[in-house]
Chains A and B, each alone.
Chain A
Amino acid sequence: MSQGKVWAYGDNVNTDVIFPGRYTYQIMPPEEMARHALEDLDPGFAAGVKPGDVVVAGKNFGCGSSREQAAACLKASGVQAVVARSFARIYFRNAINLGLAVLQCDEAVDALATGDLAEVDFAKGEIRSPKGTFRFLPLPEAVIGIIEAGGLLEYTRKKLTKE
């Protein structure tokens, strides 16, 4: 993965501003979800985001509703990872289940601002940027299989086939 632009936000970025409720019960393809990503927080995001960009945020990213589009819309935007101090629990589950990288790293959040460049090295567990190199918390071992399979659907499909 090459370097992408950082989009930095604050604490408690909730699912209503990541993917507004007015779209939640409309079924739409991922690319259309991406057009509404962060619409009520940063109206410039959806038009400006490029594949490989990195979203950086504070505590409790993704708090609020269980809507999965809040993870799906960012994955469809092509962001290589969301780096935050912490994630709301359902958001964390949804992101893993969809294969969106959600990384916890206080140092990166302290250092990075909107417009900085950053890249994630998953093999080494590092976020690299001109501002420094930061290690993120490893994911729980029990869920790595899901990510390796490319998300829960694929993981489950393989498991069902074996049965």
Chain B
Amino acid sequence: MGKTFTEKVLGRRAGKDVQAGEVVSVSPDYVLSHDNSAAIIKEFQKLGVEKVKAPEKIVIVLDHIVPAADEKYAQNHKSIREFVAEQKIPHFFDINAGICHQVLPEQGFALPGLVIVGSDSHTPSYGALGAFAAGIGRTETACTWATDEIWLRVPETMRVDLSGRFRPGVFAKDLSLKLIGDHGAEMANYKAVEFAGPAAGELSVGARLTLANMSAEMGAKNGYFAPDATALKWLEGRARKPFAPVASDPDALYESVLAYDLDALEPQVACPHTVDNVKPVAAVAGTRVHQVLIGTCTNGRLEDLEAAAAILRGRKVHPSVRVLVIPASWQVYREALASGALAALVDAGCVILNSGCGPCLGAHEGLMAAGEVCLSTSNRNFQGRMGHRDSEIYLASPATAAATAVAGIIADPREFA
């Protein structure tokens, strides 16, 4: 019997033959953390060691509250900068870089066959490029800094076979919401999700990043796309170190297999207050919104901003709506400046914010008052996440967000072609 990608990559790292269900101890290629590094440093200091074991493996990206919104956040950032200098951590990205889940792929850390752990739940994003990447907690991040070692349970794998093509107005975000709506927010709890089938190879790297990112909302430990010519071409000139891609064996044992035909898909919206409360856009069209957020680690890439600009170009944001746009990274910011997408969005009346997580996690930059509604391209719509506990969040694609921004009510992007 063959093995899945995840069994092979964790087995290679553990130096033995492993299968799903086993617990292995591995030395990761990279350990990611962000603003929460301030809290991780405090845990690290309780361990009684002076130095991190492998500074070159630590990647720290300030992205959650950038620039600092108040003096507490400023103090956190300061303590992180001091720790980075003192420990000689070479891979540090300050407030002018972007969201970690965009920065790591762009900067060539997310590579096929690597093992990456991150103190952030959306770390599975890097599976888009064929890495094993899983989210971990703060205490274990501190311990991994000290030991260069972490325990991982080798997950079973769910495969999602994709066929067909997205129709106009339909995107990877719609597919991810449809999957979660059909199967529930714990559809892949403790598991790996491998996206395969003829349509997987047709998807852009951006679309793959969206799907691997949203595998976290399926409960998955990691998401995965086999690294193909599209992925390898995207990595040209970016890769930080040599890598050896790993793919599932043709006769690998999957825990389950789902099949989705992209041709049959319509724009989807996740309704308050769970990501699996998903309806076709038609079922919620007409719902009044006060704010639209276009950005985040799920949908803040160039192709997302372009999709929004295609609808907003030559149109105006509805007077009763405020629209926040956050390019996922400074690289995306520059590309969107050059392509004209940002100009179109500004001309339409959107507010452009510094690359980072923005209001997604509810700490700054556009929180909502009681009774307000936001349609967001982010990944979570839990009660109170983006402000008052009596505010509401709908999740959708950047195109649906742009259509909604123009209409002032939730709208179908296919009507704005």
**Residues on A facing B (Cβ under 8 Å):** 12, 14, 16-17, 20-22, 24-27, 40-41, 59-60, 63-68, 71, 86, 88-90, 93-94, 97-98, 140, 142-143, 151-153, 156-157, 159-161
Residue from the list B48, B65, B135, B189 in contact with A60, Cβ < 8 A: B189
Instruction: Give the Cβ gap from A155 to chain B, nearest Cβ, in Å.
Output: 8
By a CB distance below 8 angstroms, the chain A residues around B292 are none
Query: Across the two chains, which residue of chain B brings its CB closest to A98?
Result: B139
Q: Check B72–A16 contact: CB distance below 8 A.
A: no
B347-377 interface with A by 8 A CB criterion? 361-363
Q: Is B7 an interface residue when CB atoms closer than 8 A count as contact?
A: no
Query: Across the two chains, which residue of chain A brings its CB closest to B38?
Result: A27
Task: Give the B interface residue count (CB, 8 A).
Answer: 48
Instruction: Give the Cβ gap from A69 to chain B, nearest Cβ, in Å.
Output: 9
Query: Across the two chains, which residue of chain B brings its CB closest to A90?
Result: B135
Instruction: Give the Cβ gap from B392 to chain A, nearest Cβ, in Å.
Output: 13
Q: Check A156–B65 contact: CB distance below 8 A.
A: no
Instruction: Give the Cβ gap from B27 to chain A, nearest Cβ, in Å.
Output: 15
Residue from the list A26, A40, A88 in contact with B186, Cβ < 8 A: A88
Q: Decide yes or no: A66 and B119 within 8 Å by CB, A22-B362, A27-B76, A153-B142 being known contacts.
A: yes
Residue from the list B119, B186, B221, B382 in contact with A86, Cβ < 8 A: B186
Q: Decide yes or no: A21 and B361 within 8 Å by CB, A68-B137, A151-B139, A160-B147 being known contacts.
A: yes
Of the listed stretches B82-90, B231-239, B321-329, B383-391, chain A binds B383-391
Q: How far is the CA of A24 from the CA of B137 in the complex (A)?
A: 13
B35-50 interface with A by 8 A CB criterion? 35-36, 38-39, 42-43, 46-49
Residue from the list A97, A143, A152, A161 in contact with B23, Cβ < 8 A: A143
Q: Decide yes or no: A64 and B382 within 8 Å by CB, A26-B72, A88-B189, A160-B47 being known contacts.
A: yes
Q: Check A160–B48 contact: CB distance below 8 A.
A: yes
Instruction: Give the Cβ gap from B99 to chain A, nearest Cβ, in Å.
Output: 14
Q: Is B112 an interface residue when CB atoms closer than 8 A count as contact?
A: no
Q: Check B219–A97 contact: CB distance below 8 A.
A: no
List the 8 closest A-B pairs by CB distance, nearest first: A21-B362, A142-B23, A94-B137, A16-B382, A60-B186, A40-B384, A66-B121, A156-B143
Q: Is B208 an interface residue when CB atoms closer than 8 A count as contact?
A: no
Instruction: Give the Cβ gap from A57 to chain B, nearest Cβ, in Å.
Output: 12
